A and B are shown apart, each in its own frame.
Chain A
Amino acid sequence: MVRILRWAAWCLLFVSIGIGTISDRPRQNPQLMLGGYHVLAADFHIHSFPLSWGVLSPWDTVMEARRQALDVIAMTPHNHTWVAKVGQWSARLSGNPIVIVGEEIHSIGYHLLAVGIRNSIAWRQPASKAIDEVHRQGGVAIAAHPIASYAAYDAEAMRKLDAAEVVHPVGLRNEAFADQLRQFFRRTRLTAIGDSDYHIGPLSPQLGEMGLCRTYVFVHERTEEGILDALRKGRTVVYDREHVYGDPAMIQLADENGRLRKLALSGREPNFAGLFSGIVGVFGLLAWTLTSGGVWRRFD
């Protein structure tokens, strides 16, 4: 009986992997041009394995970004940059997406995204000094999920800050957090950013999948420098369910076209074969676990 169940478990897992692989459809990326700008889908807050509570290796992170139709990602490991450099190297082998080296400066009272830097930036310093160092390295400073507990930016830091995450998964389910993100964003003139803060997928339920929240960047050229320039000049549009944030001229361009909003809010197509594959896979895992003897069999 156990042998039959074990055999069935392998079959279920095999079928699940097969159907899941065949039925998986990457999200659509229509490569929009609006008003002479290339419109790039970006996620500037992504963590990889190891050292940052990430689940995917840097090279798998790049593949997943491509699957989620992201043109640009910033890999932002906690308090270091080398994992991001590995990701950038692996992306250059395939040419897509553009990977920007970054760091999430994981400090006390604030988390700051340093996007487009070369070397790690110390986390034991006030936000204002960390932003100075980001700028000295040619990067862009973005306030990461600045809800009340991560908003320790004094007036000087607010003057220097380039951008803030105004749409983030923590605000999708919790209106109080969404309101705190909006309040921070309105404190001064900042570039609007929407990021997923991707960590460990299913094990971080408050965050979700890569690219769940994203930024549309309006660039003259599809290069890292072109993207950083657009961020410095505020040429972004970010959508959540009810609001739109960003440069009014870019919002107008997007509204006139209409496709960007639709694209941003549609997400991935429902995939029933994928759902079926998931259910079959779970039963396969359960059968395999229960027949492997690891749950209740006594030791001999």
Chain B
Amino acid sequence: MYWSFVPLIEIAALAAVCWSNRENIPFPKLIDSFFRGYGPWLLWLAGMCAIWALLSPPAKSFDWTVCILWLGAGGTLAIAWSVYIDFSFFRSVLRRSRAGAARELALQRLFAWSLIMAIIAAPTIWSEITGRLW
């Protein structure tokens, strides 16, 4: 249940960037539409579940390669696909221009992902960054 902080932060970031639209579209409907962008992530996670249920990545090289490919290439594809869906959301549902949709999508991602990453791994990220800069 504690991982529900991810959708909660996504909703908060959406509210922050769409605040001016709160009277045009009911916010619950806005949230439902926005979370269509989670489909690719769910598919990617289903793939991870399949790998973990059927393979042994820590012990076998082939299994490890499959896992790394799915993590890297599959994850990149999920990001790109969800960006496309979210961009369409800002264009179609919120009627933004192309530039406006791109700007709000970037802002929403920046707010949400920064906070999510901070909660998951803040102390490590800080020491990794400073370690590489020194």
Contact = CB atoms under 8 A, between A and B. Distances in A.
Contacts of A208: 57-59
Interface in A131-180: 169, 172-173
A285 B14 CA distance: 26
B54 A279 contact: yes
B60 interface: yes
Given A208-B57, A299-B89, A299-B92, A294 B35 contact: yes
B127 to A, nearest CB: 5
A52 interface: yes
Given A108-B134, A202-B51, A212-B58, A51 B120 contact: yes
Interface string A102-123: 0000111100000000000001
A257 interface: no
A85 B88 CA distance: 45
Contact of B71 (A52, A203, A296, A300): A203
A288 B46 CA distance: 10
A29 interface: no
Contacts of A279: 50, 53-54
A282 B39 contact: no
Given A53-B121, A282-B49, A299-B93, A173 B36 contact: no
Interface residues of B, number: 45
> Interface residues of B: mostly helix, strand, loop or mixed?
helix
A300 B95 CA distance: 12
Given A79-B123, A79-B127, A295-B43, A285 B58 contact: no
Contacts of B58: 169, 172-173, 205-209, 212
Nearest to B91: A299
B120 A205 contact: no
A281 interface: yes
Interface in A11-30: none
Nearest to A50: B119
